Chain A
Amino acid sequence: MNANDFLSGGFAPAPESTDHFEIKKTYDLYIGGKWVKAAKRFQTTNPANGEVLSEVALAGKKEVNQAVKAARKAYDEIWSKLSGAERGKYLFRIARLLQERAREFAVVETMDGGKPIRESRDVDVPLAAAHFFYHAGWADKLTYAFPGAEVSPIGVVGQVIPWNFPLLMAAWKIAPALACGNTVVLKPAETTPLTALKLAELFEDAGLPAGVVNIITGAGETGQSLVEHPDVDKVAFTGSTAVGKAIRRSVAGTGKKFTLELGGKAANIVFEDAAINEAVEGIVTGIFFNQGHVCCAGSRLFVQESVADKVIKKLQKRMESLVVGNPLDKNTDVGAINSASQLERIKELVKAGKEEGACIWQPSGGVPRKGNWFKPTLFTECAQSHRIVQEEIFGPVLAIQTFRTPREALTKANNTPYGLSGGVWTDKGSKIFKMTTGLNAGVVWANTFNKFDPTSPFGGYKESGIGREGGLHGLSAYCNLSH
């Protein structure tokens, strides 16, 4: 039988085309509405095959300073004087332009970051556009958002975003900041700068006044200079808890406002009375969405002992049907690991899991030879004390534990310094509320998982962060309130 015969179980390649847009050989910094050269550059590569996609400018202290200055000027002279309605119109424009160029953004996102095109096309890009559209509408309605309080913009906002949802995080950060009347300096992650730079192109097309958004590329040092810049009034960061804490330290005593959106180790709790097949799908979405590079990933599965064997068996069967490979292929479910260093981190923790006595299981399929890859992975026989249970892996690795009673599930689920998200699967309504109210986490998915929406606030308890993004509650992160 032909290897691509339907009955063989495979798929003929179905790659998304890449010939309808351009990735420039080099990108400069977008500061004050102009493309500004920097002394140094760095490469951004496609993690699925190691190919260099482009060389982008490395912003140093000087350029950071320039960008903050441009943002300040735009704030003082233009943006703070514009009516909310006018600000909103710019955001609406941006949303529309992004929808129009959705395919291009999706493909570039996939090439630069390694995520499956199905996800960048169906999740990242449409949601990013939705965030602009949602916040556009708030711009002239902020007085209604905070009863009894007076609301004003903060000023210049420095934003540092991660590599797991590059465009979406840019939208999460920029849209509310602009809607609330602030100007922005944004630094995308060093491994995934391209969609943010393309977004700058789109701001030009939208006629957004110079300096309202400035995009500077670079690594940790660039981010640090931005965060520490004395003329930045507010810092917004999404990334690791370790870096988040460093940022929290650096803003201490400065009076800068901040929001931190950090790591997680979410418990996904499956009861025996759950809709089992949907729960299995939720577990898969919970941990294998975006290769598990998701701060709110359901990385700890708690399954009731009475159904553990059944659930694990179904889960393994489902994992056998996951297509791992070329992220640009429309049938790919699990793409490439974002960077070699992240792959190392995953491997290290998986090794620790094995050494600590957990049982590893992976599906039978292979992975491509070139690029950064890691198979979807399960660990059973996990103990609460294992590193794979306690530490954020940020990869496609699920640690499974069993429980006997709702109380035990809650206790174990909450037994972590993190508190970003959680999941509960049961068909019994009152149990859902018992569990969702009992979980110490900012987002709780009951009978679903990994759902996002611009109207829905997102953010963590405890060491998973401070503040919320999205929805009405997310607005307060970008406003000064007096009451």
Chain B
Amino acid sequence: MSNLGIPKTYKLFIGGKFPRTESGRILKVRGPKGEFLANASRASRKDFRNSVVAARRASGGWAKSTAYLKGQILYRIAEILDGRTDQFVNELVAHGLPENKARAEVAEAVDLLVHYAGWSDKYQALFSTVNPVASSHFNFSSPEPSGVVVIVSPTRGSLPELVSVIAPAMVGGNAVVVLAGENALTAISFAEVLATSDVPAGVVNILTGHRDELVPEFAKHMDVNAMLLCSDDAEERQGVELEAVENLKRVALQPDRPLSPSPYHILDFQEIKTTWHPVGV
């Protein structure tokens, strides 16, 4: 009796759900020898807009959730990802990665998540100040999440790359929309990890699609507060910067490779708020 496998349908991850692209278009994903692997969704501008709506809806609650909870959830993602190591390794191997390298990538991604999980309740202390103003006021400055952050992942979109751009924005209380790299299958499988890790719906939204089609939309959208672009392409960078001007989106430009772990990547998507209050009776 033959045992035919059941290939997975790779869809988008928007608002905690896995919809197909509204455009009905596909990205044919092939293995290193050109063999067919899957039909991923080729997200449209409308899918992106829907993602921003989902992210905006989720951003308030996520920002207000306690730092402890955010840390717990990031750690939970690491746990679930670790538990699914074999699945990811198989996928990465199908993509042409040697198994030991695939295993190392998953482990690196898990480590990154654990690292940022630990930052959830510490970066605030690092980046906050109590300011000794020369009057009878208590004055302090502390970071607040930027809001909705859109992320263009490094081109390859390996698991560590993906996690290295999502985790700092997310742990900082932002809701994110991510355009995954070429590794579309890994990205959507990671979305399944997110979907089972108590991440509130809409906090992370993952799209797969054509970079040149979607990047300008990311930069243009007026309800997006900040954007991370991992790119070595000067033209793409300038294009994003120019489109971002209209609502003075914050733009962080990074090279086309994974971000090494640093609390300063969290700070990139924070606004510093300074509060004054008189001291008296």
Contacts and interface: CB of A to CB of B under 8 A. Distances in A.
Check A-B contact in the complex, CB < 8 A. Answer: yes
Nearest to B271: A461
Given A253-B238, A446-B277, A456-B141, A417 B247 contact: yes
A264 to B, nearest CB: 13
A29 to B, nearest CB: 31
Contacts of B278: 447-448
B139 A456 contact: yes
B25 to A, nearest CB: 31
Nearest to B141: A457
Interface in A315-372: none
B131 A465 contact: no
Contact of B129 (A442, A462, A471): A471
**Binding site secondary structure of chain A:** mixed
Interface string B260-281: 0011100000011111111000
B276 A445 contact: yes
Given A444-B275, A447-B278, A465-B248, A453 B139 contact: yes
Contact of A253 (B129, B133, B241): B241
A436 B245 CA distance: 27
Contacts of A455: 131-134, 139
B246 A245 contact: yes
B135 A451 contact: yes
A260 interface: yes
Contacts, number: 109
Interface in B110-164: 126-127, 129, 131-135, 137, 139, 141, 144
Interface string A434-475: 001100011111111001010111110111011010011100
Given A149-B264, A453-B131, A456-B139, A252 B276 contact: no
Contacts of B242: 249, 252-253
A437 B274 CA distance: 10
A456 B129 CA distance: 9
Contacts of B137: 448, 451
Contact of A442 (B245, B262, B274): B274
A468 B129 CA distance: 13
A260 B273 CA distance: 16
Interface residues of A, number: 44
Given A245-B245, A245-B248, A417-B247, A456 B133 contact: yes
Classify chain B: how many residues form its interface, as a range: 20 to 34
B241 A252 contact: yes
B247 A483 contact: no
B238 A252 contact: yes
B234 interface: yes
A453 B135 contact: yes
B237 interface: yes
Interface string A291-314: 000000000000000000000000
B250 interface: yes
A446 B241 contact: no
Interface string A223-257: 00000000000000000010011001101110000
Nearest to A481: B264
Contacts of B273: 436-437, 441-444
A451 B276 contact: yes
Nearest to B134: A453
Contacts of A466: 248, 250
Q: 9 tightest A-B contacts by CB?
A: A253-B238, A252-B241, A453-B133, A455-B131, A456-B131, A446-B277, A248-B245, A252-B242, A445-B276
Interface of B: 126-127, 129, 131-135, 137, 139, 141, 144, 225, 234, 237-238, 241-242, 245-248, 250, 262-264, 271-278
15 contacts: A252-B241, A253-B237, A417-B247, A436-B275, A442-B273, A442-B274, A443-B275, A444-B275, A451-B276, A456-B141, A457-B141, A462-B248, A468-B272, A471-B274, A472-B141
